[in-house]
Amino acid sequence: MNTEIQFSELFLTKKKNKLIMCYISSVILPKPSVFVMPVGKVTWGHRVSITCSISTQHLGGTFTLQQSSGSFRKSQTSSTNSASFNITEVNFSNEGSYQCQYQTRVSSQDFSSPKSDPVGLMSKLTLSDLISTLLKCLYGSTPESVNLTLFGELVH
């Protein structure tokens, strides 16, 4: 269960015969949740959305989504408790584990959550997607009418 603890320490100091109170706050943020839509393997070249969310009263922070073993890293400020990151055309370099982290500012101090549990992204490539991709590489676009014989099967 996500929990959040906020505590303050009160320090009293004396300056020019006046008592001054100084509060130092600390915020412990819970671990964010992360999920991928659509669920399961994503078709190569299709769109995927990865959403990060956190249960906190300290909104207005920044969500960062990072691929564990890759170059993908994006940040997004949100006024709510979640942010969605879109990958418009999934390819094999997008496969892997992703984690979210939340950063926010409270009383002029910056706080970060722990990283979320990892979520996996896997893609699949259908035969028609493979042929279409090969044709795009060869011709710059997919010709309107193409007949290919592949393993004795006619593909249009």
Q: What is the pLDDT of residue 9?
A: 46
Q: Which residue segments constitute the domains of the chain, with CATH numbers given?
A: 29-125 (2.60.40.10)
Q: For residue 141, what pLDDT is reported?
A: 63
At 5 the pLDDT is: 42
Q: What are phi and psi of 17, to 5 degrees?
A: 60, 20
pTM of the model: 0.70
**Three-state SS across the chain?**
CCCCEEEEEEEEEEECCEEEEEEEEEEECCCCEEEEECCCCEECCCCEEEEEECCCCCCCCEEEEEECCCCCEEEEECCCCEEEEEECCCCHHHCEEEEEEEEEEECCEEEECCCCCCEEECEECCHHHHHHHHHHHHHCCCCCCCCEEECCEEEC
Q: What is the pLDDT of residue 4?
A: 44
Which pLDDT tens digits describe the chain residue by residue (156 residues)? 444 444 444 445 556 666 565 555 678 899 999 999 998 888 888 899 999 999 999 999 999 999 998 889 999 999 999 999 999 989 888 999 999 999 999 888 899 999 999 999 988 877 777 777 777 777 776 555 555 544 444 444
103 within 8 A of 110, measured Cβ to Cβ = yes
